[in-house]
Structure 1
């Protein structure tokens, strides 16, 4: 049965919340509470960094948690709109209806840069934010617990869980372009041992950029999510879930830049043709089983099967190197079908024990990934086009006529351990490691990665830590198929990364968390090819001598400053350099600004009215790894307000957000032929009813 049918049936069958009642007694003094203080900006723990619900003060690593409250206040609909709240992340390209992110200067890969509830998650699309309770940004190499991953870190998306109490929220929002989104979030108990959570979303987006024929780009998205908890016994809880995303959008591969870093032509011009589109269907189905052996020990098993199918009908415009307004450009249309299948599994045993005078918080586990990819593709003849002419018609091609199938498969599995050792009230030590095996044609790989941390607590609510961690990314086991290279055919080790991080965390009066971190990351093992002059047999020699080094400082504050003022703020200074590289030695990676900052705040004027203000800053960034083209720095001011009232005894929220309130012109992520033009001033209005 389709998720749409299941979710609708269960969501609308739930009974409404019971009316709130109060007992009255003339002999009891009534105290009226006039403050609205509730610290929903502050988060005390995160599950991703340690694979356990460990306090952030006991985590020897920089971790940022973006709570649901902020996601809702910002009316976020994409992961990019959420991750702007952490200055360590900068936006990359947004072409082809997906988002790319850079963490501490390193791009996050679609295959290994993202987690969902601790599972590696294929993220080649815009993630459905409405299913998430919060987002965790884990900084630095994290292969010890999760396997292959990039040096910058991981983004762990934590989904909403079934609730015992009744929940029924309905929201609708719109903007000045005519975009709409309708969302239903329902939960509660079905029976004594059964509870559920269901989310339904229907969204239609109209963008302000236009195709050559004058049509606006549009996007149509449906999301259905259902999770059920079954408490079989007091010690055994079984969770099953299913979600489906259908997302179809016109293509926009981005604007083009000239040699000065300025957009060529109008910032509203789309070079793709209006008939180009991408159409995806993503399904996740899985289970999580928790068994509590006793009060100290727990066993958890998780399985997720993700299917990602996409048709992409491209016009594929190509930017000429010397393009100016009025010139022609060539498009090379094709129709392509992609099929990705991600099967992930983990088994964790975690618990506490005492050995002598020390307390140990142990984790022993294993996880695996089974990856499959298949592609069908049919090309059409190239088309030369001059802007202003009649748009070429859609070619009569279909991927279904392709009689070949390109496939790629691999699997990896690993065993990991971790021990958080509490020596006394002031000192803790965290030790861990992973043994990993990848099976892939021409890319078999074995790796061992350690991690270690020392934590010192000078006072109860403060931590000073030192962290060492490693990461790895397997690569092909042979160099390029070129026998003119002296090392042709050599076995290659995985690309590795190492990080040393020193940080301070201070939870101020249980209200506000202040953090700082200094990090130094080295990525080594990248292929470097050098020319040979005096060798009569070979032209080049390729070695794994590449080195990329990123050093930086991060500062952040999150929580309540007063009973009515809340803040989430961060800033980062980054020095990123290709220290040894065949092409980019001494250069800075693109979209890695030296300075970045982000602030979001809420001020409660009354119990019913709250105001928000946010500021986003991105410093100068390069639009290419050769550092020939620079994108200017920019500020973006966002404003918002929420008014809460009761209508027919139901809570109703009215929300107005204004993004880019000062209407600044700016360029976000992307390079010379796929840069994202920042949106002009835009307003969104939402009504949400809680029954």
Structure 2
């Protein structure tokens, strides 16, 4: 890192400081590398800036460097860098994921800057500086959450140093994305700082509708963040972002009983007039105040509104479908309105008591949830692929005068203490009281968490931890009119995990190695199977127990001054237990083995090469374990060339995804599977001023 880069880094960390470089003591940094692959802490894991070596939990942090190198456009592309996450269905322009084999819920599986975040849409990753994958139950700090873990998306913040980044990328299908990211101090004393991000994206997908039309996507993103130093001890942050995203629908491909695609891999069974159109807005306020040298308080508030119109052609796969047969579509127009309001207050203290160092967290958080739906159906249509596509039905959700609504709120108070007994031993202990308020579905819970850490070296940790999760159902009954078990009574879902792990930093702390063994059990899992039936579309049941045991290994950071890696692998033994329908079966989309590798080699200061390998083992496409999808390995490569033009930095990039044109099936079941795309080229250019 050169002296100018060091000055900018100091300015980013201490934005209110005046850097009088001419009077500063000159510091010379030895070494040519800058380790942008490795992150040493994860704010979402303990709600504090605690080192990963002092965190009794498996955590992976994916920095924006890797996101940019991969030219990622979706959260799924980012999360493919952690083998503990596998993709589920991508139907209807949203992504679903499994972590350690458990599905991540749209309402409880995602955080943004520590707030629960409604994630029923493709996330705007252009505003993120890193993604934290927090594994295992985390209900003690966040309330309702699943056993697999949480994904915390950490957003970009304003900087005092001024910069403007302009970027554009294009792929072989003609898809384009244009981005502007700008930040600067807005006052001379640098107390007020701002950052803005604008994105315009147009996507041409490779799969096609029955009439030959292309599926397209039109997305706009705007975001702004303002930081103001009210005093030297108080920071106020205001943020706002809006996403507009309209996309043609693709509910996925269809499989036969041998796990093979039926027909052409490009065929979309939806009609070309089917679409989803969403608008998502987030607005919020965060305050951080240092009370004294030992204590600080953090307060956060966020309002998220999510409005969506979805005009479906809703194709249904017949159980014995073959190419040339007819299938039924049941069109409808639907409007959904979600409102997700979150708030928290945290007191964090670091002090010495009884000759032991304490990092104490005392806090409370809350969530208020509202959902409203309007829906109007059209007449069913029988169709074969050789026929002319039927016209869009003349129906509108606005004609529905029977608004369906659902509301609930919950709050929790929590305490956590990381106790340093001596340089070798630490103990992390905590608990939470949580209460949900909903008519007919009130719930209360008390949850513990315990971790013990042993440091045989300053650069190594061995830990053992225990944690629990609690997921009260949003209503006391299943509310899905298209499900066979509509109005079925639902019990709360509970989970617990025991994890044994180790972390070790090598090569002067440049490379982090980690490994963990975990045993997770979950009671009350909801399993939904899509079916071909004239009266309903799915069957949902609540199974007895789901148990997942596994091993994870990972490496992240710099191997040499010019060679960087992010690698992980997971072995997973997952099955249903104590259930009359699924006893001994493996959950869908939960492979025994998965692995990922992304690397960069810097040939010189201007030219760098990337190579990635992503492996997913055999998986079942259904919980009955009657249809199996083959394992696959995808290889990606890329290269970046950096140059100067009139004193400004320019980065040119070429990426090739699926270099060897491997045929593969990603997430999804027999009637909504995602087909992997063949070899795909993408070009990008970034200008920095």
TM-score, length-scaled by structure 2: 0.91
What is the distance in 2 between the residues matched to 1:643 and 1:476? Answer: 51
Q: Which runs of 5+ in 2 are unaligned?
A: 1-20, 23-27, 480-486, 528-540
Q: Which residue of 2 aligns with 1:52?
A: 48
Q: Which residue of 2 aligns with 1:516?
A: 515
Q: How much has 1:356 moved relative to structure 2?
A: 1.7
Q: Which residue of 1 aligns with 2:178?
A: 182
What is the distance in 1 between the residues matched to 2:675 and 2:426? Answer: 47
Aligned ranges for residues 651-690 of structure 1 at < 5 Å? 651-690=649-688
Q: How much has 1:580 moved relative to structure 2?
A: 1.5
What is the distance in 2 between the residues matched to 1:476 and 1:307? Answer: 18
- CA 1:480–1:391: 2 relative to 1, 3 Å: closer
Given that 2:478 and 2:488 are in contact with CA atoms closer than 8 Å, whether structure 1 keeps it comes out as no
Q: Which residue of 2 aligns with 1:124?
A: 120
Q: Which residue of 1 aligns with 2:482?
A: none
Q: Which residue of 2 aligns with 1:632?
A: 630
Aligned partner of residue 671 in structure 2, secondary structure: coil
What is the distance in 1 between the residues matched to 2:615 and 2:564? Answer: 20
Given that 1:477 and 1:493 are in contact with CA atoms closer than 8 Å, whether structure 2 keeps it comes out as no
What is the distance in 2 between the residues matched to 1:131 and 1:460? Answer: 35
Given that 2:478 and 2:489 are in contact with CA atoms closer than 8 Å, whether structure 1 keeps it comes out as no
Q: Which runs of 5+ in 1 are unaligned?
A: 1-21, 24-30, 482-488, 529-542
Alignment deviations for residues 240-271 of structure 1 (CA, whole Å, 9 cap, x no partner) = 01000000000000000001101100000000
Given that 1:272 and 1:315 are in contact with CA atoms closer than 8 Å, whether structure 2 keeps it comes out as yes
Q: How much has 1:544 moved relative to structure 2?
A: 8.5
Q: Which residue of 2 aligns with 1:596?
A: 594
What is the distance in 2 between the residues matched to 1:149 and 1:544? Answer: 17
Q: How much has 1:443 moved relative to structure 2?
A: 1.1
Q: How much has 1:372 moved relative to structure 2?
A: 0.1
Whether 1:571 aligns to 2:569 is yes
Match of 1:169 among 161, 165, 172: 165
What is the distance in 2 between the residues matched to 1:456 and 1:171? Answer: 46
Given that 1:442 and 1:476 are in contact with CA atoms closer than 8 Å, whether structure 2 keeps it comes out as no
Q: Which residue of 1 aligns with 2:385?
A: 387
Match of 2:37 among 41, 47, 57: 41
Aligned ranges for residues 373-412 of structure 1 at < 5 Å? 373-412=371-410
What is the distance in 2 between the residues matched to 1:215 and 1:491? Answer: 44
Aligned ranges for residues 234-253 of structure 1 at < 5 Å? 234-253=232-251
Given that 1:476 and 1:492 are in contact with CA atoms closer than 8 Å, whether structure 2 keeps it comes out as no
TM-score, length-scaled by structure 1: 0.91
Given that 1:445 and 1:493 are in contact with CA atoms closer than 8 Å, whether structure 2 keeps it comes out as no
Task: Report the aligned-residue RMSD.
Answer: 2.1
- CA 1:526–1:200: 2 relative to 1, 3 Å: closer
Match of 1:439 among 430, 437, 440: 437
* Matched residue count: 645
Match of 1:66 among 56, 62, 66: 62
Given that 2:476 and 2:491 are in contact with CA atoms closer than 8 Å, whether structure 1 keeps it comes out as no
What is the distance in 2 between the residues matched to 1:68 and 1:345? Answer: 27
Given that 1:304 and 1:344 are in contact with CA atoms closer than 8 Å, whether structure 2 keeps it comes out as yes
What is the distance in 2 between the residues matched to 1:662 and 1:544? Answer: 42
- CA 1:267–1:491: 2 relative to 1, 3 Å: closer
Whether 1:153 aligns to 2:152 is no
What is the distance in 2 between the residues matched to 1:156 and 1:293? Answer: 27
Alignment deviations for residues 516-558 of structure 1 (CA, whole Å, 9 cap, x no partner) = 0000001124589xxxxxxxxxxxxxx9981110000000000
- CA 1:41–1:447: 2 relative to 1, 3 Å: same
Aligned partner of residue 232 in structure 1, secondary structure: strand
Given that 2:296 and 2:349 are in contact with CA atoms closer than 8 Å, whether structure 1 keeps it comes out as yes
Whether 1:644 aligns to 2:647 is no
Whether 1:270 aligns to 2:268 is yes
